[in-house]
């Protein structure tokens, strides 16, 4: 017999929304299971059942903002400690990219429950995603198929064997890393494409092959790139853009 699971958990597994959103949609009566409205928290389903969202839930999700920022060095992407400078403080009308083509009007409500979808170290710069959309947060924080591309300024000598290890042969914390795409970008810069995002992964990988990292800049997450977004500025994710 197929084991049942909580409806909210199944909705999250299917990428329909975050767990918090699922509970909210269920309470609002915006969720149907096999065509029947389910509005009781804790309800359970089996994987074979069809789950759909009412139009109200879809409209609610469409209003959730996702912001792309070119985070400077010195700003923290996640929870801030005393003395830290949180990246979200850079989001204001005067720092919005003048070439933002989203057509979205900047509203104060877009700052509510805005959370980083993944980390970017305080001493790294580049593309940072902050979102109110639980679907995007889940995808970027748990989907191994989402690539992240970086340009990494380094010092030191990298042998052919070291390059081979960077691409497919290193372990961190006694756990094997997934294959990585690493190549020379210039005489003193490497291009990294990762499918996982462990704490300080690139810096630790470089240390293992004798390289010192001078700087890291994230250029791309999935199919969304930093492009010409200036340092310290931000724009909205456009409707047609997908990670």
By residue count, the chain amounts to: 243
Catalytic pick among 34, 84, 100, 121: 121
Taking the CB of residue 240, how many other CB atoms lie within 10 A of it?
6
Question: Which residues lie below 8 Å from residue 238, measured CB to CB, with a gap of 6+?
Answer: 101, 102
Please confirm, yes or no, whether 121 is among the known catalytic residues.
Answer: yes
**Tokens for 179?**
């294959």
Question: Which residues lie below 8 Å from residue 124, measured CB to CB, with a gap of 6+?
Answer: 71, 73, 215, 216, 217, 218
Question: Which residues lie below 8 Å from residue 79, measured CB to CB, with a gap of 6+?
Answer: none
Dist. CA 89–CA 87, nearest whole Å = 5
Output the CA–CA distances (angstroms, integers) from residue 182 to 72, 120, 139, 170, in the order listed. Answer: 24, 19, 24, 13
Dist. CA 52–CA 104, nearest whole Å = 27
Q: Helix, strand, coil: what percent of the chain each, to 5?
A: 25, 30, 45
The residues annotated with a catalytic role in the active site are 121
């Amino acid at each position: 017999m197929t084991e049942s699971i909580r409806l909210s958990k199944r909705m999250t597994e299917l990428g329909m929304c975050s767990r918090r959103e699922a509970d909210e949609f269920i309470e609002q009566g915006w969720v149907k299971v096999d065509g029947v409205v389910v509005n009781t928290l804790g309800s359970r389903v089996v994987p074979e059942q069809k789950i759909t969202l009412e139009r109200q839930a879809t409209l609610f999700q469409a209003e959730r903002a996702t912001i792309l920022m070119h985070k400077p060095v010195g700003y923290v992407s996640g929870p801030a400690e005393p003395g830290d400078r949180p990246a979200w403080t850079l989001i204001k009308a005067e720092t919005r990219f003048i070439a933002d083509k989203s057509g979205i009007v900047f509203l104060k409500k877009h700052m509510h429950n805005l959370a980083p979808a993944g980390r970017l170290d305080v001493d790294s710069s580049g593309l940072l995603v902050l979102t109110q959309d639980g679907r995007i947060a889940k995808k970027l924080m748990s989907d191994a198929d989402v690539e992240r591309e970086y340009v990494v300024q380094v010092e030191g000598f990298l042998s052919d064997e070291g390059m081979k290890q960077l691409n497919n042969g290193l372990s961190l914390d006694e756990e094997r890393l997934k294959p990585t795409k690493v190549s020379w970008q210039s005489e003193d810069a490497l291009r990294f494409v990762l499918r996982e995002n462990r704490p300080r992964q690139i810096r630790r990988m470089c240390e293992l092959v004798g390289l010192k990292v001078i700087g890291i800049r994230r250029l791309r997450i999935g199919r969304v790139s930093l492009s010409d977004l200036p340092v310290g500025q931000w724009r909205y994710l456009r409707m047609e853009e997908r990670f």
